[in-house]
DNA sequence: TGTCTCATAGGATGCGCATCATGTCAAACC
DNA sequence: GGTTTGACATGATGCGCATCCTATGAGACA
């Protein structure tokens, strides 16, 4: 039928899709309006029918990027123990595939430095999305229940490791080194959250043996 | 006496200082030539007496930033055990003071996202500096000796956690949440690298209580 | 059928920026 | 002392970009 508002909504969606890609690939200041609109099949003039300014677009596109990706990379981590859930997520996150696919990657990592330099409005959006992701990590199954603060702390450390790991892996030129960074970080997740039988998540002293080398370094998505 | 080349060298130093600050505060694309030159007490025309283009400046300024900061934040972690060295470094790195002082902060964290989006030339510089920092973490004392690969792996995971932690803490708007991120990451360092003499009898859980990050911003202790 | 609305097109404007071109003056060198 | 060199200043040049303005054409609506 293509009613008037349907068309606009479709346009908006294309704009957000294009913008979300370019935002991650080129950063907050890099993703310019005209190219985004062109990628969306429109011209720059149409932009202001959808947003008041570039900042609004950035916020909306950032939200869109995470809304789009979160379910995909959450997958079904259900029913697993807490440490194995983190381990599984870490193995999915810290891959060469995710590293190399900037345009479709985790926006929290891709725009971390940018958010750090941005104004309070964008930081609020970033924070909101980060909280949503942390929440999703903590309780992917029953949406309503409050989350365990200890788990939240675990999830924060986990996210920091993942974001830092993939950022470093991307920032480096040598693919071997980059791969090493990813592998080491995957192992670090395991060391930080040892499998259930070891001991519960907090206040434990995991034997100081440096158990390295249980690294399957192949990536799958 | 102010010989000709002395003057040029002094100018270069001012340019690098100004550029290194703005680079960290505004990113690779944000740090423009004219403002940098002005901050250095020169005009934009003088720029090309020192560099061929903006990329050269960015690379040099990035190097300069780390050369300038590395000794300061390494401090004297000598003679301590490996885990306590990392713990000490983590406590120094993951502070609100470091978080808030973008212009003088760790360039590896401030420019991680930017490097990820940059060309191979800049990534090479980033990688080189990252390797130097990792090396400095592993063997701050005797420069010559080869580094233990296991320690290098530890240092990589440590850096990832630190970079991710401070990036997230900066990207977020709520100061309480930001503080929590820093605190959790400091604890995570400890969890990842438990102190060697961590005996159950002598349970000293130093960082467990709500932070009060040792706010001595950098150096001077 | 005829108005109205509004998403879109296509300039136009003005600014910031990297880079280049030209001028200047003091130190360096003969 | 006279010439040369080169760091620096000043002023283009041209591009990319955000934003604004105006026109248009097709759906909405009467």
Sign of the dihedral defined by the CA atoms of residues B58, B64, B67, B69, in that order: negative
How do residues A73-94 score in pLDDT, each as one tens digit? Answer: 887 766 789 999 999 999 999 9
- The C1' atom of D13 and the CA atom of B32 lie apart, in whole Å, by 18
Report d(CA B180, CA A125) in Å as an integer: 18
Rounded Cα distance, B219 and B221, in Å: 6
For residue A103, give the DSSP letter.
G
What is residue B61's predicted lDDT score, i.e. its pLDDT?
98
Q: Residue A211 has what pLDDT?
A: 38
For the CA atoms of B22, B27, B29, B33, what is the dihedral angle to 10 degrees? 10
How far is Cα of residue A100 from the mean position of the Cα atoms in its chain? 14
pLDDT of B201 strictly over 80: no
pLDDT of residue B193: 95
Distance C7 C1' – A38 CA (angstroms): 15
| Contact status, residue A186 vs residue A215, Cβ threshold 8 Å | yes
User: DSSP states of B79-103 as a string?
Assistant: TS-HHHHHHHHHHHHSSHHHHH-GG
Structural domains in chain B, CATH included, are 65-192 (1.10.357.10)
Q: Among all strands, which nt has the closest C1' to B44 (CA)?
A: D9
Q: For position B113, what pLDDT does the model report?
A: 97
Contact of B63 with B53, CB cutoff 8 Å: no
B126 touches chain A (CB under 8 A): yes
Mean pLDDT of B90-103: 97
pLDDT at position B2 is: 67
Q: Of B59-73, B118-132, B195-209, which range is least confident? A: B195-209
Cα gap B212→A211, rounded to integer Å = 32
Residue B213 reports pLDDT greater than 70: no
Can you give the pLDDT at residue A221? Answer: 35
- How many angstroms separate the CA atoms of A174 and B114, rounded? 17
The partner residue sitting opposite B174, judged by closest CB among A27, A127, A170, is A127
Provide the 8-state DSSP code for A200. -
- Rounded CA separation A131/A128 (Å): 5
| Residues in A 156-175 with any Cβ partner in B closer than 8 A | 156-157, 159-165, 167-168, 170-174
CA A58 → CA A30, A67, A114, distances in Å? 11, 14, 11
**Mean pLDDT across the stretch B131-156?**
88
Position A78 scores a pLDDT of: 67
pLDDT-based confidence at B132, cuts 50/70/90? very high
More confident residue, B149 or A214: B149
- A117 CA to chain B: closest CA distance, Å? 6
CB proximity A54–strand C (7 Å threshold): no
CA B206 → CA A61, A205, B6, B86, B213, distances in Å? 42, 14, 50, 14, 12
Q: How far is A108 from chain B (nearest CA, A)?
A: 8
- Terminal Cα-to-Cα distance of chain B (whole angstroms): 36
A171-185, pLDDT tens digit by residue?
A: 999 999 999 999 999
Distance from CA of A52 to the nearest CA of B (A): 23
B5-53 per-position pLDDT tens digit: 888 999 999 999 999 999 999 999 999 999 999 999 999 999 999 999 9
pLDDT(B219) > 70: no
pLDDT higher than threshold 60 for residue B216: no
Largest distance between two CA atoms of chain B: 67
Backbone φ and ψ of A26, nearest 5°: -125, -5
Between A and B, how many residue pairs show a Cβ–Cβ distance under 8 A?
Answer: 191
H/E stretch holding A22 reads: helix A4-30
Pick from A120-124, A209-213, B110-114, B202-206: least confident: A209-213
Q: Where are the beta strands (DSSP E) in chain A?
A: none
pLDDT for res A77:
63
Regions of chain A where pLDDT drops below 70? 1-2, 77-78, 140-143, 197-221
């Amino acid at each position: 039928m293509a009613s008037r508002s349907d068309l606009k909504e479709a346009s908006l969606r294309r704009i957000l899709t294009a913008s979300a890609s370019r935002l991650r690939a080129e950063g907050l200041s890099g993703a310019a309006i005209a190219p985004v609109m062109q990628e969306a099949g429109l011209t720059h003039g149409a932009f202001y029918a959808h947003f008041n300014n570039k900042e609004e677009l950035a916020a909306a596109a950032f939200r869109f990027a995470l809304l789009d990706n979160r379910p995909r990379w959450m997958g079904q981590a259900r029913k697993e123990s807490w440490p194995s859930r983190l381990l599984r997520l870490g193995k999915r996150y810290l891959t060469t595939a995710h590293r190399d696919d900037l345009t479709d990657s985790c926006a929290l990592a891709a725009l971390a430095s940018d958010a750090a330099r941005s104004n309070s409005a964008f930081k609020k959006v970033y924070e909101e999305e980060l909280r949503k992701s942390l929440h999703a990590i903590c309780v992917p199954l029953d949406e309503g229940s409050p989350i365990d603060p200890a788990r939240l702390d675990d999830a924060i450390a986990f996210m920091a490791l993942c974001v830092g790991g993939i950022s470093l892996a991307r920032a480096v030129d040598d693919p071997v080194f980059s791969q090493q960074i990813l592998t080491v970080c995957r192992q670090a997740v395991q060391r930080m959250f040892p499998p259930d039988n070891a001991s519960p998540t907090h206040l434990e002293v995991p034997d100081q043996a440096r158990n390295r080398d249980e690294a399957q370094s192949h990536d799958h998505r």
